[in-house]
Amino acid sequence: MPKISVILPVFNTQDFLKNSIESCLKQSLSDIEIIIIDDKSTDSSLKIIESYKDERIKIIKNKENLGTFLSRNEGIKIANGEYIIFLDGDDYLENESLEILYNIAVSKSADMVNFGIINKPIIKNATLPKIHTEEILGEEITNKIIIKDFKKSWFIVCAKLFKTALVKNAIKQLAFIDRHLISSEDSILFFVICLLAKKSVGVEKNFYIYCQNDGSIMRSINKERLLKQIDDRTYLKNALDYLSQNKDLSSHEYFHQAKKNMQNMLDYFICYSKRFLTKNDLNTTISPYFTYSIMSFKFMARWQIAVKLMIFILTFGTKKL
């Protein structure tokens, strides 16, 4: 049994992929497996993957493009490591990160080890997620991360090490999700993981390097993709409601408040996608940007939103920030 399974979904990241894979192969902890899921890439990604002959690499070739959520699930199903870490195909890990994280997880008997994420190149004044380094037990994990620190947390599965049994249990609870998702797919998996986790710890180290990929799906803006983002996030809101029927999850003391927070977050991101559309696209009489700005008061500094709204109003809606 390897100590850690790295789950690495890949779709058209040929310019970043070598760095991503080699950051795993160069880890000071060698007892790992690297499960790479090629999600029907149309560039040279699969060729790059197959050029590596290291026996620790396992390759899954999706027969169709499934999206990150379902691709990760394919990797999780065959993972044999004691712990799982998620890595995207355009990002990488610092060389000694897995050894340090594994030792912390074992010594603390933790289900989840949180660590930092940093942008490359560095973005000045970038908002980064709070690293929950304190020891948190049982139901307080959800209370602390999703409720008390709601505005400071990022509900993503990267930049965390999880016990494999915990992640396998989480995707079992989410087996009803069978659609291709392009947005916010991390949120529902992380939500369920928090509900199921028994012990969370962390380390104040930026081990996860998020690379700025201007060609990434998440960075492309067009009407079709924006409408798909809105549809996906609406679907996830409904999926969270569906989880209310799961007694193992909904009996959690903080389930309903945490679910409400997650749905509020999805509403915000739906509104964010709408800000790039027009009133005609959405068949509404109210400016999508104006609606987004009002909702932003819940999530961003009030002075920032006030300035944006003032500029928007003074320029009669011609300038958006």
Claim to verify: residue 42 and residue 178 sit in the same structural domain? yes
Domain boundary (219, 235, 259) is at 219
Q: What angle do CA 184, 188, 193 make, to 5 degrees?
A: 135
- Per-residue pLDDT tens over the stretch 57-93: 999 999 999 999 999 999 999 999 999 999 999 999 9
Claim to verify: residue 109 and residue 176 sit in the same structural domain? yes
- Per-residue pLDDT tens over the stretch 199-250: 999 999 999 999 976 655 445 578 999 999 999 999 999 999 999 999 999 9
Residue 270 pLDDT > 80, yes or no? yes
**Could you tell me if residue 201 is inside a domain?**
yes
Compute the distance between CA of residue 98 and CA of residue 241 in angstroms, rounded to an integer: 36
Claim to verify: residue 215 and residue 295 sit in the same structural domain? no
Claim to verify: residue 186 and residue 319 sit in the same structural domain? no
Claim to verify: residue 213 and residue 72 sit in the same structural domain? yes
Claim to verify: residue 171 and residue 313 sit in the same structural domain? no
According to DSSP, the β-strands at 32-38 and 57-61 are parallel
**Could you tell me if residue 101 is inside a domain?**
yes
Evaluate if pTM is beyond 0.75.
yes
Claim to verify: residue 150 and residue 42 sit in the same structural domain? yes
For residue 59, the cross-strand partners are: 36
Structure confidence at residue 313 (pLDDT): 54
187: left (phi over 0), alpha (psi -120 to 50) or beta: alpha
Compute the distance between CA of residue 314 and CA of residue 321 in angstroms, rounded to an integer: 13
Claim to verify: residue 80 and residue 169 sit in the same structural domain? yes
**Could you tell me if residue 231 is inside a domain?**
no
Claim to verify: residue 16 and residue 145 sit in the same structural domain? yes
**Could you tell me if residue 239 is inside a domain?**
no
Total domains present in the chain: 2
Claim to verify: residue 55 and residue 201 sit in the same structural domain? yes
Domain boundary (191, 219, 247) is at 219
pLDDT mean across residues, the chain: 90
Domain boundary (200, 219, 238) is at 219
Q: What is the CATH number of the domain that holds 114?
A: 3.90.550.10
According to DSSP, the β-strands at 136-137 and 199-202 are antiparallel
Closest CA to 200 of 111, 78, 304: 111
CB 94 within 8 A of CB 209: yes
Longest pairwise C-alpha distance within the chain: 63
> Structural domain of residue 317, as residue ranges?
275-321
- Low-confidence winner among 161-170, 237-246, 251-260, 287-296 (lowest mean pLDDT): 287-296
**Could you tell me if residue 175 is inside a domain?**
yes
- Low-confidence winner among 113-117, 121-125, 288-292 (lowest mean pLDDT): 288-292
**Could you tell me if residue 317 is inside a domain?**
yes
Claim to verify: residue 304 and residue 208 sit in the same structural domain? no
**Could you tell me if residue 102 is inside a domain?**
yes
Residue 308 has a CB neighbour count (10 Å cut-off) of 19
Claim to verify: residue 64 and residue 198 sit in the same structural domain? yes
- Per-residue pLDDT tens over the stretch 237-268: 999 999 999 999 999 999 999 999 999 999 98
Contacts of 175 by beta carbon, 8 Å cutoff, 6+ apart? none
Structure confidence at residue 40 (pLDDT): 97
Residue 279 pLDDT grade (very low, low, confident, very high; cuts 50, 70, 90): low
The dihedral built from the CA positions of residue 122, 123, 125 and 131, taken in this order, carries a sign that is negative
Tokens 């942008």 sit at which residue?
Answer: 119
**Could you tell me if residue 266 is inside a domain?**
no
Compute the distance between CA of residue 267 and CA of residue 102 in angstroms, rounded to an integer: 36
